[in-house]
Amino acid sequence: MTTLYFMRHAESEANLSDILASQLDFPLTEKGKKDAAQIAEEVLQFHPIDHIISSPLIRAKQTAAPFEKLFALTADTDSRVIEQDLGKYAGKTYAQLDDEPDYCHDRSLRWKWVPEGEGESYEMIADRLQPFFDKMFDQKHEHILIITHAVTLRMVKSILLNILPEYPREIAHNGEIWQVKLGKKGDVHEIKSHFYGESKSAVSRA
């Protein structure tokens, strides 16, 4: 049985500055780089990772780097696990959003909401994740680490719990890992959270 380990990237410069990074390429902070390395060391002790998949954004690839080194693997990049495209809101601070009347502040109403400027609704994210999961249900690796992003992980959890179009309001912390034994498509999967390094104390907003 395949086990998936979904990880939110470590602290980025956007997280530190309270910015909606979206698909902009903000790197990790120095703290984020150190925490990613510490998390990789701890994961090495408990989980036999044999494949790594990363979002193409630099903050995810930098998070993957210490795992690649410790597990002697090369991460594949997959644009289907990239972060939500927030259109014209990408790069704005949370404080600036207070002056944006068309931004959907209510997290419960984002399934159909498409951010102005060719952004993505939650429904669109879920649609691009479905073929990714189809691939996961039909592959040879047994322990796969997938490094992705906060909003994308909301949709990941909804797919794994088979609750779409409902979705959780809370998001993963930076560096948090969700372990899932992959069953069949349509199953309600059990998700176990791991907090290695300083991930439990990380602040999470989305």
What is this structure's pTM?
A: 0.95
pLDDT bin (cut points 50, 70, 90) of residue 139 is: confident
Residue 200 has a pLDDT of 61
Using the predicted structure, report yes or no on whether residue 203 has a pLDDT greater than 60. no
What is the chain's mean pLDDT, rounded?
A: 95
Q: What percent of the chain has pLDDT over 70?
A: 96
Residue 12 confidence (pLDDT) above 80: yes
Predicted confidence at residue 199, as pLDDT, reads 64
- Angstrom distance (rounded) from CA 195 to CA 175: 7
SS3 content of the chain, % helix, strand, coil (to 5): 40, 15, 45
Task: Indicate the SS3 state at residue 107.
Answer: helix
Within 13 Å, how many C-alpha atoms sit on residue 153's CB side? 30
Residue 81, classified by CB atoms within 10 Å of its CB into exposed (0-12), middle (13-18) or buried (19+), is: buried
Identify the pLDDT of residue 191: 97
Cβ atoms of 198 and 175 within 8 Å: the answer is yes
pLDDT in tens, 52-78: 999 999 999 999 999 999 999 999 999
Q: What is the pLDDT of residue 201?
A: 64
Q: How many CB atoms lie within 10 A of CB 137?
A: 11
| Integer Cα distance of 93 and 35 in angstroms | 24
Q: What is the 3-state secondary structure (H, E, C) of 153-164?
A: HHHHHHHHHCCC
φ, ψ (nearest 5 deg) of residue 180: -140, 125
- Per-residue model confidence (pLDDT) at position 1: 84
- Using an 8 Å Cβ cutoff, are 26 and 58 in contact? yes
pLDDT digits (tens, 9 = 90+) for 74-125: 999 999 999 999 999 999 999 999 999 999 999 999 999 999 999 999 999 9
Q: List the helix and strand counts (H, then E) for the chain.
A: 6, 6
Q: Which residues of 103-121 are buried (b: 16+ CB within 10 A; e: fewer)?
A: bbeeeeebbebbbeeebbb
Sheet holding 51-54, edge to edge: 76-77, 51-54, 143-148, 3-8, 177-181, 191-194
